[in-house]
Amino acid sequence: MTQKHKWGDRRDAVWLRDLPALHQIMPPLMPNRADNEAYVSIDVDLRPLDAYLEKKNKDLPHDDRYTYFHLVSAAIARAFILRPRMNRFICNNKLYQRNNVTVAFVVKKKFEDKSEEGLAFLEMDPEDTIDTYHQKILDVIHATRREDVKDASTDAMDLLVKLPHFITVGVVKFIRWLDKFGMAPQDMIATDPNHAAVFLSNLGSIGLNCGYHHLVNWGTNSCFVVVGRIHCAADYRPDGQADVHQVLPLGVTLDERIADGYYYSGTVALVRELLTHPELLEQPASQPVEFAIQR
């Protein structure tokens, strides 16, 4: 059911008014998102993902294959649907609940130094499965990599920087002010990753290790996820024997003001459960999943 729009709501989110005092005081007390970061690192065991991808990619053309990035993106987006406090943000000293779960990432048009980058932006719907979400990713990547087409935000920025510099600076400051109230021009922020629920960076695809990435005060993004380069890690059994296997590292930076540590821990446990049993991703995203927090 669509929630009735009230004064103070934004076009992309609802202002949460009935909150405990602590959550109402924190935004004006600590107003900057970049000053309130919590960082979590996760190693994802690749063995179940490898088995699943082998089955899913059988007989598929190379350009249409499922990848680790697709599965990680789908698992995190589904966790945001099942754990809605993750889909919150703070702006203009208010805590908001975002209307939709959106995922964004930067796409290199070609793996060349001089190649431009495009901005990919998509939404996970509650009824999406890994198959429908996978198709959305393919569609947005193919569209973003077209040399003759630019995404909406890049196109708007190209027009803006053609103005005299002092006018560009003044317009940007005005847009930042408008964004506090959810009124920034849609053409400017339509594909801006800093206005997505989840901002993903696949550094492993360009041979870089996983690491911390900061949040920014512009926009509404409260969760930045870095996917790093595959490496070997060891788990130790009760008898002391090492179980060496490949893992995919994830670095997750969160705005600690939108939820408490226990809620974050449950979200990490849910993501881990989905990636340990990737066949769960074939369910509709809104279908509950049982998981346990590791202690």
218 and 275 share one domain? yes
126, 216: one domain:
yes
161, 190, 219 - which closes a domain: 190
Q: Is the pTM of this model over 0.75?
A: yes
Same domain flag for 141 and 246: yes
Both 160 and 221 in a single domain? Answer: no
- Check whether residue 156 and residue 218 sit in a common domain: no
Structure tokens at 8: 């103070």
Same domain, 120 and 42: yes
Q: Give, in order, the Cα–Cα distances in Å from 111 to each of 114, 115, 150, 286.
A: 9, 7, 17, 36
- 53 and 156 co-located in one domain: no
| pLDDT tens, N- to C-terminus, the chain (295 residues) | 445 678 889 999 999 999 989 888 999 999 999 999 999 999 999 999 999 999 999 999 998 999 999 999 999 999 999 999 999 999 999 999 999 999 999 988 777 777 778 889 999 999 999 999 999 999 999 888 876 777 788 888 888 999 999 999 999 999 999 999 999 999 888 889 999 999 999 999 888 898 899 999 999 999 999 999 999 998 888 888 888 999 999 999 999 999 999 999 999 999 999 999 999 999 999 999 999 887 6
Does one domain contain both 183 and 40?
A: no
Task: Kindly state whether residues 273 and 135 are assigned to the same domain.
Answer: yes
- CATH of residue 257: 3.30.559.10
- For residue 155, the model assigns a pLDDT of 84
Does 267 share its domain with 225? yes
Which pLDDT score, from 0 to 100, does residue 70 have? 97
pLDDT, position 1? 42
Single residue among 190, 208, 238 that ends a domain in this structure = 190
Determine the pLDDT at residue 231. Answer: 94
Are residues 165 and 278 part of one domain?
Answer: no
| pLDDT for res 153 | 84
Classify residue 1 as exposed, middle or buried by CB count within 10 Å of its CB (0-12, 13-18, 19+): exposed
The pLDDT score that the predictor gives to residue 4 is 63
Within 10 angstroms of residue 43's Cβ, the number of other Cβ atoms is 17
Rounded CA gap, 15 and 20, in Å? 14
Is 174 within a domain?
Answer: yes
φ, ψ for residue 197, nearest 5 deg: -65, -40
Domain that holds residue 156: 152-190
- Do 273 and 147 reside in the same domain of the chain? yes
What's the number of domains the chain is made of? 2
- Residue 83 CB contacts under 8 Å (≥ 6 apart), including other chains: 263, 266, 267, 270
Residue 278 confidence (pLDDT): 98
Distances (CA, A) of 261 to 85, 148, 267, 268: 12, 45, 10, 11
